[in-house]
Amino acid sequence: MQVVLTKDVKGTGRANEVVSVKDGFALNFLIARKLAVPATGASLKQAETRAKQVGEKRELDAKLIAERLTALAETKIQFVKKANEKGHLYDGVDAAEIAEKAGIPEDSVRIERAFKEVGSHEVPVAFGEQFGKFTIEIIAE
- What is the CATH classification number for the domain harbouring 53? 3.40.5.10
pLDDT computed for residue 16 by the predictor? 87
Question: Do both 54 and 97 map to the same domain?
Answer: no
Please report the pLDDT score of residue 102 as a whole number. Answer: 87
Same domain for 135 and 81: yes
**Residue 50 clears pLDDT 90, i.e. is over it:** no
> What span, in angstroms and rounded, lies between the C-alpha atoms of 50 and 31?
19
- Do residues 124 and 86 share a domain? yes
Domain boundary among 12, 32, 59: 59
**Does position 86 have pLDDT exceeding 80, yes or no?**
yes
Number of domains forming the structure of the chain: 2
- Residue 133 sits in a domain of what CATH number? 3.10.430.100
- Per-residue pLDDT of 103-118, as tens digits, reads 888 888 899 999 999 9
Same domain, 74 and 129: yes
Which letter does DSSP use for residue 14 in this model?
A: -
Q: Average pLDDT, stretch 85-93?
A: 91
Q: What is the pTM of this model?
A: 0.62
Does residue 55 sit in the same domain as residue 69? Answer: no
pLDDT tens digit sequence for 51-81: 888 888 888 877 887 888 888 888 889 999 9
Which amino acid does the sequence have at 129?
A: E
CA distance 21 to 90: 49
Helices (H), the chain: 23-25, 41-73, 95-102
Determine the structural domain holding residue 109 and report its residue range: 65-140
Is residue 51 domain-shared with residue 73, that is, in the same domain? no
